[in-house]
Amino acid sequence: MMSLGGTVEAHLPGLKYPTRRLSNGFAVQPVHWSDNPEHDEAWADRESIQYGGRASYGWLQNMEMELVRGGSPRWPMLDRKYHVRLLLRRDYLNADWSVYRSLDHGIRHPECCAWVAVHRNRDRYFYRQFYQTNTGIPVVAKQIQEATGADEQVEMTVADPSIWRRDDVDAQTLWADIYSANGLTLVKADNSAAGYETVAAGFMATIARWALGHGDVTPVQEALNAPTLTMGDVEKLADQPAIWFHPSCAEGDYSLFEQCRNLRYKAQTGDPQHKAASELVEDVDDEGPDVVRYAMQSACVAWTVPRPRTQGEMVHRLFEQAAAKQDSGEVY
């Protein structure tokens, strides 16, 4: 991001912005992408994909040198029309899919767990969610296990790395150990900020799949504000792992879909002429986005060849499922 300060000194031919003399005596010549004669609108449309489109913060700040305000959606392309999809259990509980759980720990803010099926082509289908507040780890661990169907072979549960911190009451005990002691073994998720872009690519891949299936490039062009994108560009976007949500994960404010759709950049603070908009997201109502991000970014969440299940495992899961149905009244 470059702030165009200083005093205009000259305007060289072929360049969009003038040369400016700064207060320290140095001259600065901003160079816009369009100054390169080989960079036309179609080039900009293609290049903007990696930033999230030409309306995204990344493109506006880095390529257009605009000072833009925060507070807008992190994933503005998210749309029920494309991303909420009803699949039957037999459609995602088969040898072509592997099942994982993704967990974000919470006490005052909601504990959130997502069940996600990962296809052999790396697509993700989030088919169940769990939110709970003001509940201890032993109870939460039990509820999550009971909510898992007898026909679901969970490969592992990835979780927020902060769970590997000392308990506030017993400084010698890790939260992760408390989960494990109550039957829910956790694996550290990849919590890197790169996950936000991985999720964005997944949401765009879903729209691209729809566009290819319907022979209509318009939804992708509109999502990226890139009217010159072609079907060839759409095919490249569609190669990325796509993301869908079961309708039950898109009901109410506390749902994976709605929390992802409402995730916001932090609002601009200070003078927008001297301070760029934040690229960080608001740390509020972000449990759903976090578990989606862990499931997308963690390399260990991947399709794997199904392993045979022993009769003892199946009987144990049937008893757990029966107990869960009796407690909650849920019918599978």
Residue 161 to residue 45: CA distance in whole angstroms: 37
Residue 255 to residue 247: CA distance in whole angstroms: 10
Residues of the chain with pLDDT under 70: 1-6, 57, 66-71, 107-108, 167-172, 266-285, 309-332
Using an 8 Å Cβ cutoff, are 249 and 129 in contact?
Answer: yes
Q: What is the DSSP string of 165-224?
A: SB-SS-TT-BHHHHHHHTT--EEE----THHHHHHHHHHHHHHHHHHHHHT--HHHHHHH
Structure tokens at 62: 């880095």
Amino acid identity for residue 202 in this structure: G
Helix, strand, coil content of the chain in percent (nearest 5):
40, 15, 45
pTM above 0.85, yes or no: no
pLDDT at res. 207: 98
Using an 8 Å Cβ cutoff, are 149 and 321 in contact?
Answer: yes
Pick the CATH number of 75-325 from 3.30.420.280, 2.40.110.10, 3.40.630.30, 3.40.718.10: 3.30.420.280
Distances (CA, A) of 173 to 139, 141, 181: 17, 16, 11
pLDDT at res. 315: 61
Distances (CA, A) of 218 to 207, 223, 234: 10, 8, 10
pLDDT at res. 64: 83
Phi-psi region of 172 (alpha: psi -120 to 50; beta: other; left: phi over 0): alpha
Reference 229, options 217, 240, 238, 239; nearest CA is 217
Per-domain boundaries in the chain: 7-62, 75-325
Residue 118 to residue 297: CA distance in whole angstroms: 12
Reference 160, options 254, 300, 287, 279; nearest CA is 287
Reference 196, options 138, 110, 260; nearest CA is 260
